[in-house]
Amino acid sequence: MHRIYDLDRFGIVCIEDFNAGAMENKGLTTYNVSCILAHKDSSTDGRFKHVNSVIGHEYFHNWSGNRVTLRDWFEITLKEGFTNLREQLFSEHCYSETVERISEVNFLKSYQFPEDSSPLAHSIRPETIESVDNLYTVTVYEKGAEVIRMMKTILGDELFVKGTDHYFSKFDGKAVTSEDFREALSEASGIDLSQFRVWYEQKGTPSLEVVKNYYCKEKNAYIIVVKQIVPEQDNEKKMPYPIPIKFNLVGVESKKDLVPKSEEILLLKDFEQEFVIKGINENGVLSFLRDFSAPVSVKDFLSKEEILHLFKYDSNLYQKWEAVQRVFRDEIIRAYKSKAKQVTLEEDTKKCLECLVDTVDDYEYLAMALSLPTFQMRIRRVLTEMLEQTLSPGVREIAASCQIKL
Active site residues: 58
Q: How far is CA 48 from CA 209, 226, 266, in A?
A: 39, 41, 37
Cα dihedral value 251, 255, 259, 265, nearest 10: 100
| Helices 144-155/76-94 angle, 10° precision | 70
Residue-by-residue DSSP string for 372-391: PPPHHHHHHHHHHHHHTT--
For CA atoms 146, 148, 154, 157, give the dihedral sign: negative
Residue-by-residue DSSP string for 37-67: ---TTT--HHHHHHHHHHHHHHHHTTTBTTT
User: What single-letter amino acid sits at 296?
Assistant: V
Supply φ then ψ for residue 319, to 5 degrees. -65, -35
* Residue in 320, 329, 319, 312 with CA at minimum distance from that of residue 288: 319
CB of 121 closer than 8 Å to CB of 138: no
Those residues with Cβ within 8 angstroms of residue 299's Cβ, 6 or more apart along the chain or in another chain? 207, 208, 209, 210
Those residues with Cβ within 8 angstroms of residue 1's Cβ, 6 or more apart along the chain or in another chain? 86, 89, 161, 164, 165
Distance CA 246, CA 248 (A): 7
